[in-house]
């Protein structure tokens, strides 16, 4: 399911449950915990899940073989597209807020699901028109020879957008782009090229199916939430969310199969780098550059370090790598086990906090975070007060979209 549809579904679904939380009475207090997926399907530098990204536009040029004048023209078109996208996204958020206020005033909580779905569909319509307009403008700039490459671009766009919407580890991997990231040029060699063509064809079929599922969900009443019948409403949503997870598993399985096939076609001196890149992209939240890595890079880059400080920082880095390895492995394994379960994404309790129950995934993530915090303190302990003042602000917990976390909604339900 493409990124635009998945974002709309999350906004509508989560927003509906949050609005349900406004249905407060003086009776029993309930708590819903909405479990997030194990992978990050959030946006990038251009905002939350913009269907067309700056990085994507650069790939358009490579795929189509654009000259400099064409690239400059498309860059200008993109800036206009991005401004319109952000305006539309802001409009959707304001519409949800207005729906929130309307429900609070009227008390008509039963109709809020349909209202949220209506807002989501309107936003989808605007975004589809914006996307179609941008791509139409791009197409108008192409030569006949470049137009022959258009189907290749369309498949890339389906991967670029569709692989953002996965909810299990591995469903966000693009095997073709992973090979390209090695900068080895092997994607054009006969054996590898054939393997990648097979992957491109199979994953494209799956992504088309996923996009159809997302549109059917938005067209159905699945996300219409009745807070007077909490269990039934959540059950209906759970059934549809299982379909979404099953589709993500299908994408993951295709990625796993073809990653292994492609790996087997690579030269022995390249294969380990590819396998390592697959592992990092399979579990991005686990293996991405951490706040500790950035802190160590910044500290080691200080111009006035003494030899002793350099040795101490080197030891901190070595110790961190040694301790992080087993924790990352445990975290990745916990993610995979979680992805195989069909647990309800909603945990409901009246009184007891459901997040207090044992959860191997939460514990594995907590263990890595504790190591990170301890190591950051070790880095700072090596530095003088003046050097600490020149360290960049720690933003390791900002904007990372750490999925696997929970959204917690508290409310009171009438009738006890």
* pLDDT tens per residue across span 15-30: 444 444 434 333 344 4
At 384-397, the pLDDT tens digits run 999 999 998 876 65
pTM score, whole prediction? 0.78
pLDDT computed for residue 183 by the predictor: 83
pLDDT at 118 over 50: yes
**Average pLDDT for 268-296:** 95
Indicate the helix (H) or strand (E) that contains 408. strand 406-412
Average pLDDT over all residues of the chain: 80
Better-predicted residue by pLDDT, 330 or 27: 330
Kindly report which listed range (81-85, 101-105, 255-259, 312-316) carries the lowest average pLDDT score.
101-105
Note whether residue 136 is domain-resident: yes
Note whether residue 239 is domain-resident: yes
Note whether residue 77 is domain-resident: yes
> pLDDT grade, residue 125 (50/70/90)?
confident
Better-predicted residue by pLDDT, 50 or 300: 300
**Average pLDDT for 26-50:** 44
pLDDT computed for residue 344 by the predictor: 63
282, 299, 315 - which closes a domain: 282
**Average pLDDT for 276-280:** 96
Q: Are residues 201 and 119 in the same domain?
A: no
DSSP string, 1-23: --HHHHHHHHHHHHHHHHHHTT-
Q: Are residues 103 and 195 in the same domain?
A: no
Query: In DSSP terms, which residues pair with 79 in a beta bridge?
Result: none
- Using alpha carbons, select from 257, 159, 256 the residue that is nearest to residue 207: 159
Q: Are residues 277 and 211 in the same domain?
A: yes
Note whether residue 201 is domain-resident: yes
pLDDT computed for residue 20 by the predictor: 43
- Using alpha carbons, select from 401, 405, 408 the residue that is nearest to residue 172: 401
Q: Are residues 133 and 179 in the same domain?
A: no
Cα 287 to Cα 404: distance, rounded to the nearest angstrom: 15
Residue with tokens 């305006």: 87
Query: How many structural domains is the chain composed of?
Result: 2
Look at residue 203 and give its three-state secondary structure: helix
Q: Are residues 135 and 196 in the same domain?
A: no
DSSP string, 23-52: ---SS-EEEEEEEPPSS----BTTBTT-SS
Note whether residue 311 is domain-resident: no
Range of the domain at 233: 170-222+229-282
244, 260, 282 - which closes a domain: 282
pLDDT computed for residue 327 by the predictor: 97
**Average pLDDT for 210-227:** 66
Q: Are residues 178 and 273 in the same domain?
A: yes
- Displacement of CA 129 from its chain's centroid (Å): 24
Q: Strands, DSSP E only, in 40-89?
A: none
Note whether residue 346 is domain-resident: no
Q: Are residues 65 and 110 in the same domain?
A: yes
Q: Are residues 112 and 194 in the same domain?
A: no
Note whether residue 389 is domain-resident: no
> pLDDT grade, residue 49 (50/70/90)?
low
Cα 222 to Cα 220: distance, rounded to the nearest angstrom: 5
Share of residues in the chain with pLDDT > 90 (%): 51
Q: Are residues 193 and 137 in the same domain?
A: no
Q: Are residues 186 and 104 in the same domain?
A: no
Range ranked top by mean pLDDT from 27-31, 171-175, 190-194 = 171-175
DSSP string, 326-394: HHHHHHHHHHHHHHH----SEEEESSS-GGGS--HHHHHHHHHHHHHHHHHHHHHHHS-HHHHHTSPP-
Q: Are residues 140 and 179 in the same domain?
A: no
Note whether residue 159 is domain-resident: no
Query: In DSSP terms, which residues pair with 47 in a beta bridge?
Result: 44
pLDDT at 361 over 80: yes
Q: Are residues 83 and 114 in the same domain?
A: yes
Q: What share of the chain is helix, strand, coil (3-state, %, to 5)?
A: 70, 5, 25
């Amino acid at each position: 399911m493409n990124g635009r549809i998945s974002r709309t579904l999350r906004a509508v679904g989560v927003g509906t449950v949050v609005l349900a939380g406004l249905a407060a009475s003086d009776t029993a207090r309930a708590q819903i915990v909405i479990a997030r997926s194990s992978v990050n399907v959030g946006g990038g530098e251009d905002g939350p899940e913009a269907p067309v990204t700056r990085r994507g536009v650069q790939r358009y040029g490579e795929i189509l073989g654009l000259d400099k004048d064409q690239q400059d023209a498309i860059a200008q078109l993109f800036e206009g597209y991005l401004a319109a996208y952000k305006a539309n996204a802001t409009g959707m958020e304001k519409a949800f807020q207005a729906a929130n206020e309307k429900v609070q005033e009227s008390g008509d909580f039963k109709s809020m699901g349909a209202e949220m779905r209506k807002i989501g569909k309107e936003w989808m319509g605007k975004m589809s028109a914006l996307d179609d307009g941008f791509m139409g403008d791009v197409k108008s700039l192409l030569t006949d020879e470049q137009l022959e490459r258009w189907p290749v671009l369309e498949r890339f766009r389906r991967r670029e957008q569709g692989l953002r919407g996965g909810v299990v580890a591995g469903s966000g991997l693009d095997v073709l782009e992973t090979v390209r990231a090695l900068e080895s040029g092997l994607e054009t060699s006969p054996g590898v090229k054939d393997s990648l063509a097979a992957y491109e064809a199979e994953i494209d079929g799956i992504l088309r199916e996923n996009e159809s599922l997302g549109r059917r969900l938005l067209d159905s009443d699945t996300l219409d939430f009745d807070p007077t019948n909490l269990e039934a409403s959540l059950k209906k949503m759970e059934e549809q969310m299982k379909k979404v997870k099953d589709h993500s598993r299908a994408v993951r399985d295709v990625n796993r199969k073809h990653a292994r096939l492609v790996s087997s076609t690579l030269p022995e001196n390249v294969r380990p780098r590819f396998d390592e890149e697959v592992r990092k992209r399979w579990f991005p939240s686990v293996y991405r550059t951490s706040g500790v890595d950035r802190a160590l890079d910044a500290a080691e880059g200080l111009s006035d370090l003494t030899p002793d400080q350099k040795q101490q920082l080197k030891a901190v880095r070595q110790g961190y790598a040694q301790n992080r390895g087993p924790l990352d492995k445990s975290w990745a394994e916990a993610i995979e086990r979680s992805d195989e379960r069909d647990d309800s994404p909603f945990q409901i309790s009246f009184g007891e906090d459901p997040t207090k129950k044992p959860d191997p995934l939460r514990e594995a993530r907590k263990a890595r975070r504790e190591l990170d915090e301890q190591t950051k303190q070790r880095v700072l302990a090596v530095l003088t007060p003046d050097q600490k003042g020149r360290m960049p602000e720690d933003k390791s917990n900002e904007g990372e979209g750490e999925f696997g976390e929970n959204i917690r909604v508290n409310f009171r339900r009438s009738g006890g």
